[in-house]
Amino acid sequence: MGYAHASAPGPQEGAWRFTAPTTASSVPRLRHAARDLLERQPAHVPQEVLEGALLILSELVTNAVQHAALLSPEIGVEVSLSGGWLRVAVEDSHPYRPKALEAEPFRENTGGRGLLLVKTLTSEAGGVCDVEQTGAGGKVVWAALPLG
């Protein structure tokens, strides 16, 4: 897993990028790396925001592993603190733009609910999330949560 510090404009701001193979073992590794990184920052990230962001990150990485691995052997993760917001983003090379579909309430299969969970957690925290296409034809799925 690669790690790069992209920028550090001030004591409470910064952006950090990780890269990892698009495999299931990357999910806990990236979650732990992001937790360690955020816990070392001078800006205090409230525990509830931290836990929500880490769950969102896990869901986004899992989604990339399940749906993009064939066309994207590596994923990029960016964690940033800026202007009172914590943002997590996952980039892959697959062109498919995922749609968060509500799961049927009585369906036994629990698959396909990850992006709905991301949208719900983000909304409940007063944040925003979206999907953007990259210039190389892939996508970045991101969520931003307010720190206060």
The total number of structural domains in the chain stands at 1
Tell me: the pLDDT tens digits for 45-68?
999 999 999 999 999 999 999 989
Provide the sign of the torsion angle of the four alpha carbons 110, 24, 139, 3, taken in this order: positive
Which residues constitute the domain of residue 76?
A: 2-146
CATH number, domain at 27? 3.30.565.10
Whether residue 32 is predicted with pLDDT greater than 90 in this model: the reply is yes
Exposure class string for 78-100: b at 16+ Cβ within 10 A, else e: bbbbbeebbbbbbbbbbeeebeb
> For residue range 61-102, what is the model confidence (pLDDT) as tens digits?
999 999 898 899 999 999 999 999 999 999 999 988 776 533
Tokens read off for 76: 């990029």
Give the pTM.
0.84
Asked whether residue 118 carries a pLDDT value surpassing 70, the answer given is: yes
Quick one: the chain helix, strand, coil %, rounded to 5?
30, 35, 35
In this structure, what is the dihedral angle of CA atoms 145, 32, 91, 53, given to the nearest 10 degrees?
Answer: -10
